[in-house]
Amino acid sequence: MSLDRQASPRPSPRPRGRGRRPARLDADLSPESTSPRSGVIILNVIWLTVLTVLAIVAVGRIAWHGVDGEVLAWAVGSYVVTGFGITVGYHRYLTHEGFRCSPVLRAILLFAGGMAIEGSLESWRRTHLAHHAHTDVRDLDPHTPNQYDGFWMGLWHSHVGWMLVHSRLPEPFDQRDDVDRLVRWQRQYYAVPAVSSFLIPWAATGWQLDGLLVAGFLRVFLLFHFTASINSVCHVWGTRGGRKPSAVRSARRARNFALTALPTMGEAWHWMHHVMPGCVAHGSGLRPDPTKWLIWTFEKAGLARDVKWYRTERARILGYQPDPVTSRAVCQPDRRDPVALAGAVVMKGGPVGDHS
């Protein structure tokens, strides 16, 4: 089931009442730019409830009788493939246009991203670009922890709550992008990769129940929450430019959270990403970033071209650090506060159709 957020008609902006933290003063809070939330998306609530229950059942079965090696191999392999579908395909390629590739590889990445059950590329991309354009601005950033005054309520909203309510993205991100026929196909037939995400490991393990529960539902559950942690944990805890913020809850911005770097395929170097969104390298130097390494492998194999390791003027204000993996310079943020830098380097992306 897709976790696409469903748009609702745009009502008048609600007044700020008691207990609401004021939005950033430089934000445009006119009726045309606000993104109010109202109503529950029942299908998403049902899906996440079922996913959670079956993941718990899978953990119980593992604790009771262990897990077959074949099932474990398919669980890990499926996690890696679908994870790269999000980090390489959805994020660094089709959203931030970090490289170009053939239509065949683009189709494979779109299919693998769909198998992650995180919604269609079109919805994922528009939501993510709105997040970059209005980072941590209440009612404009779709999944900011600043949406509520309460710390835990804000954390819940940024992690999963924003997916459970109807909302409308701020303009121009509320418009569909139909320039790429593969993207249109994925949106129209999203059920194909979604069902395949469970059917393939289940069939490959001989239709074992654990093949469905462990390599299917538990794997999707883990990837979903590690991906969601980028929106929540990486905007609350961690470091920026190599230093810990003096006040975690003040001036929430993207952070690097090293503990989840590997399970998020390098996406947890989130502060670096917000400073240089178009760069395919999030973890500089030897910081673990499997997505960067895979893109580098694609480039060496001739499968990716025009890779944005960033030697342009956008990176000159930040400096470079040699990368022993790619043997070239990659973007390395300096130690200044990113708030001043973000406006100069944030990219809103372009059309997703011209990648051939």
Taking the domains of the chain in order of start, what are their residue ranges? 39-345
Q: What angle do CA 109, 112, 117 make, to 5 degrees?
A: 130
> What is the spatial distance between Cα 1 and Cα 104, in angstroms, rounded to a whole number?
25
Residue 343 CB: number of other CB atoms within 10 A? 9
Q: What are phi and psi of 185, to 5 degrees?
A: -60, -45
Task: Write down the pLDDT at residue 175.
Answer: 58
Low-confidence ranges of the chain (pLDDT < 70): 1-38, 170-179, 241-252, 310-356
Query: Quick check: 95 and 173 in contact, CB under 8 A?
Result: no
CA 254, distance to chain mean position in Å, is: 13
Task: Write down the pLDDT at residue 173.
Answer: 58
Q: What are phi and psi of 75, to 5 degrees?
A: -65, -50
Instruction: Scan for tokens 């999963």, then name that residue.
Output: 160
Indicate yes or no: pTM above 0.85.
no
Task: Write down the pLDDT at residue 177.
Answer: 61
**SS3 call for 328:** strand
Sign of CA dihedral 281, 285, 291, 296: positive
DSSP labels for 11-68?
-PPPPP-TTPPPPPTTS--STTT---EEEE-HHHHHHHHHHHHHHHHHHHHHHHH---
Query: Quick check: 23 and 137 in contact, CB under 8 A?
Result: yes
Task: Write down the pLDDT at residue 22.
Answer: 32
